[in-house]
Structure 1
């Protein structure tokens, strides 16, 4: 084998790369030889060989690697949670309005796999008026692991619904009054015990009714606009009022207009009806009129700032037809105008069909009687009948009465009890169908 030219004579491994450093051997004492002529001393000096080696992989380097010290992990900081509460609106109308309560509290999101319920986490109560019992509501998580919780407050004449120790609900009704203020309160239970509260004020809306023009020609479509926030009872979709706006040229020629909300939660409604000069009046479709007549629309505004029901009206004129320059057919001889035909009662309607009344308080129900063609049935007797055992719960005045020029009778209902419900049936003379109204009694 090959040996290095050092003193130890180190062997070279066949599969190993080396770098050499020359080193002189120690001097040797020459051996005396009998030959008179000494032989010359030969000295072997190896030529150094330098081998350029590629840097070996870390796992193969013979140089021992000192392991790096593993740092001690620092504990992760505890995240801080911001607990917040907001209301979809700060001012709500007295009846049928909706307020959504949104609470964000990640500390209450204990189960990431399910939508959790924070029981009776919201309390609503009157500040400057008596709202009855406190309204308690659950908060329902808006999606698993969201940490956002929702509840819904509705406005009405009495505090009803909500949650309790054994009832789960995140929806309830708070009693309202004109100019009243209620507090909506949430108390965190996770990383903070601080109570978050928001104020909610209440007020009425005076309904407005109008035409989109001052006059209409025969064949035109008359467009009507109604604004009444209290009729917006569903904040998630556009609503329809089929029995609330009437149009007429006289008490003997009237019909209803279907009013459709312009969008979800707007409280603004629009309706149209065609003005024609023949074919008769048809409910929701057309009203027959003549040039020079006045179109009158009417709406009964039950809840408003006055505290009493009010009638809202608007008018427009039917424009005269401009004479054509072409020759016209001879006018027929004038004939005697027949007396108006009396409207024959054919249907009966009541508004509202459900209502809540607090004990010893009163509310009104409007009953309307119309004919087959939508005409107003005047001077028709309307009677009331209360179901069995209900006379002890409510009092109705009057017990019977004839309809007025608008085909209507207004009945007053007073609650004698503070619990349960009562059904009232209204019957109009000559009309086979009865109409039922349900009254819920509240303490």
Structure 2
């Protein structure tokens, strides 16, 4: 038997342990071979051999590949991180049944001798080592391919050094799966530890460039590519100061939460777990004494993110922190400023500082309206940032808001924060005509009584406690329609006792807005999945569902032209449950054309509303006129305006305490205009008036000043 081919050079001769000499065939792209059999005695009793008579197979050849190598980091990197290397080369996939590995010599020598000695022309074995095989470069190597990482741009540079503290290391790659031909591995960069080849650690400094080298021999085009190394694009080492930011620049004096965030990829040193920067964050007083400075750990917010967090809480005394702590309390004073300092290690001992100011908040507590009919629910809003002591939980206040009609008739109102970290609390209580006053649930009152709420604002800009109050008038019950009754002739019915229903349940309240424009949606329906509870929003997008039985509900908001939205809500007896919605406009579907279209007479309809002036400033008890113009399609509407259209005016709930408007509705004249008179009340602040014509509307802001 013979193997005949176009690359049977003596450089491929080898011998086995028995001394038998044989040649290794050239397994590379372009190599072509065939096997022939010299038949010593053929059918004609003749010797069949040589190129013309031997029995010969068809030619067969080999395919070799050009490998590709890449790193997960491109461009620039911090000095303390891991670099993941990916190599794709089918030539290294020498087994279909197991994962292959490249070789790792962990050399500790300097100079190129060791690298050249191990740089064999072939694939080799991961556990092998060279035995002078380089002199027979076309034979199967004893050592598998080796990958190098270096701060040199040429791995065969005479200054290459793999010793401790050197500039080059070797590291292994492992095939990602059986028969995949894709290999992955990693090495670590360090700014503070000397190069250690056995740990796959390469020391770098600011401005260094890091390269990864691979000898692709054979490749798809060459059997002997041993003098050429493939190198990745350089990774430039940049040691920059980490970026420090705070979730807020001003915090309240007690119970407020500030999250400190540091982005510093230099400090991301672990590829498999979150890093901790021990006591890398300090909070110290700038214009006052905090006592002992607050120091904390910064903890990475995920594996390999380079972003580190710590939590600062305000209080009366500095406490917590220290080694092992990721949060702490800093002492505050009115007008105080603290410095939050991050200490970096690369550049060495550099620091970044942010100022954090402290100021108290003057609380407000207000009713939602100037008056409430008997058996209605009074809505109360408390704004006090100091009572927001958690940025992750909506909190409740049970013993802070009191409501009374007199000193002998008083009770508490349950207040629930409107959302996470808002500092605004909502509550409600029924103004009942009978049944007595019950804590958190109802206060008995009579027509003409004055409801007064009080709140003790202990932390504020005055430096001492202050009492915050608001009042609302109790009016007659809101009439409820009853079925008509026709008396029998000659019979006079005897009036029966009036039964006042006992109020129960809680309140669901909130707003519904357009998710794109954030404008309020008027006429949206908000309903529960069970119990049949529902309400409709007003022009300000606000709704209120009262007397909702305690329990868990799925509350849905829907409006014409919008996709519905739902959220779970838990209702507690006598409490307010906030539920706000932002509805997404429905994307119109493309209509299917119909064969015959019957023209419909075009109608002059409102397309837009304009208000003059667009905003208004009024002194207390002063009036001003506002002109509202309804515009239409000028191809249908004469002059581009809509005459004879009814325009309605609606004031938001808070604004009703500050202004009134007359008339409530008006009809446009031939020029499309309607005139309204706005009168300021004695309370200062902002109000919003919404003018609506047909399906279009326009809002105007009115500012009432002293």
Q: Give the TM interval when normalised to the shorter protein.
A: 0.5 to 0.7
Using the TM superposition, give the Cα deviation of residue 113 of structure 1 relative to its aligned residue in structure 2, in angstroms.
Answer: 2.8
Preserved contact between residue 248 and residue 297 of structure 1 (Cα < 8 Å): yes
Aligned equivalent of 2:453, options 287, 297, 302:
297
Equivalence for 1:95:
254
| Alignment counterpart, residue 288 of structure 2, candidates 95, 111, 129 | 129
Within-5 A mapping of 1:187-206: 187-190=343-346, 192-206=348-362
2:393 matched to which residue of 1?
237
1:72 aligns with 2:229: yes
Superposed CA RMSD = 3.1
2:317 aligned with 1:161: no
Kept after mapping to 2: 8 A contact 1:186/1:195:
yes
Evaluate the alpha carbon distance shift between residue 139 and residue 322 of structure 1 in structure 2; reply closer, same or farther with a 3 A threshold: closer
In 2: Cα distance, 1:298 partner to 1:213 partner: 16
Separation in 2, partners of 1:65, 1:133: 70
Residues 14 and 81 (structure 1), Cα distance of their counterparts in 2 relative to 1, 3 Å cut: farther
The answer for the alignment partner of 1:436 in structure 2 is none
Q: In structure 2, what is the Cα distance between the partners aligned to 1:264 and 1:323?
A: 38
Distance 1:228 1:328, change over 3 A: farther
Determine which of 399, 406, 420 is the counterpart of 1:264: 420
After TM superposition, list the pairs within 5 Å mapping 1:302-321 onto structure 2: 302-321=458-477
Contact 1:299 1:311 in 2 (8 A): yes
Is the 1:104–1:148 Cα contact (8 Å) retained in structure 2? yes
Distance 1:73 1:330, change over 3 A: closer
Matched-pair contact (CA < 8 Å) for 1:139–1:149: yes
Residues 81 and 237 (structure 1), Cα distance of their counterparts in 2 relative to 1, 3 Å cut: farther
Deviation, structure 1 residue 314: 0.5
Is the Cα–Cα contact under 8 Å of residues 81 and 106 in structure 1 kept in the other structure? no
Instruction: Give the total of aligned pairs.
Output: 280
Paired residue secondary structure (2:266):
helix
Aligned to 2:700: none
Could you tell me how far 1:56 is from its partner in structure 2? 7.1
Structure 1 length as normaliser, TM-score? 0.57
- 2:244 aligns with one of 76, 85, 100: 85
C-alpha contact (below 8 Å) 1:107/1:191 kept by paired residues: no
Partner of 2:274: 115
Taking the aligned partners of 1:323 and 1:179, their CA distance within structure 2 comes to 53
Match of 1:429? Answer: none
SS of equivalent to 1:13: helix
Pairing 1:251–2:290 present: no
Cα distance change of structure 1 residues 300 and 65 upon mapping to structure 2, 3 Å threshold = closer
Q: For CA contacts below 8 A with separation 6 or more, give which structure has more relative contact order.
A: 1
Distance in 1 separating the partners of 2:267 and 2:472: 59
Question: How much does 1:231 deviate?
Answer: 0.3
User: How far apart are the structure 1 equivalents of 2:264 and 2:477?
Assistant: 68
Cα distance in 1 for partners of 2:51, 2:315 equals: 102
Q: Residues 81 and 105 of structure 1 are in contact (CA less than 8 Å); yes or no, is this contact kept in structure 2?
A: no
Gaps of 5+ in 1: 1-10, 18-53, 332-443
Bigger Rg, which one: 1
Q: Is the 8 A contact 1:257 1:272 kept in 2?
A: yes
Contact persistence 2:375–2:477 (CA under 8 A):
no
Corresponding position of 1:366:
none
Query: How far did residue 132 of structure 1 move?
Result: 1.8
The Cα shift of 1:321 comes to 4.5
Alpha-carbon distance in structure 2 between the residues aligned to 1:65 and 1:238: 69
1:332-351: CA deviations, max 9, x gaps?
Answer: xxxxxxxxxxxxxxxxxxxx
Q: Which moved more, 1:284-293 or 1:103-112?
A: 103-112
Q: Give the structure 2 partner of residue 432 of structure 1.
A: none
| Alignment partner of 2:52 out of 4, 13, 36 | 13
Q: 1:236 to 1:313 in 2, by over 3 A?
A: same
- Corresponding position of 1:212: 368
Alpha-carbon distance in 2 for matches of 1:190, 1:90: 26
TM-score, structure 2 normalization: 0.37
Give me the whole-angstrom Cα distance separating, in 2, the residues matched to 1:285 and 1:322.
19
Equivalents in 2 of 1:270, 1:66: separation in Å?
80
CA displacement at 1:256 relative to structure 2: 0.1
Following the alignment from structure 2 to structure 1, what is the Cα–Cα distance between the partners of residues 350 and 222? 57
Distance in 2 separating the partners of 1:328 and 1:291: 26
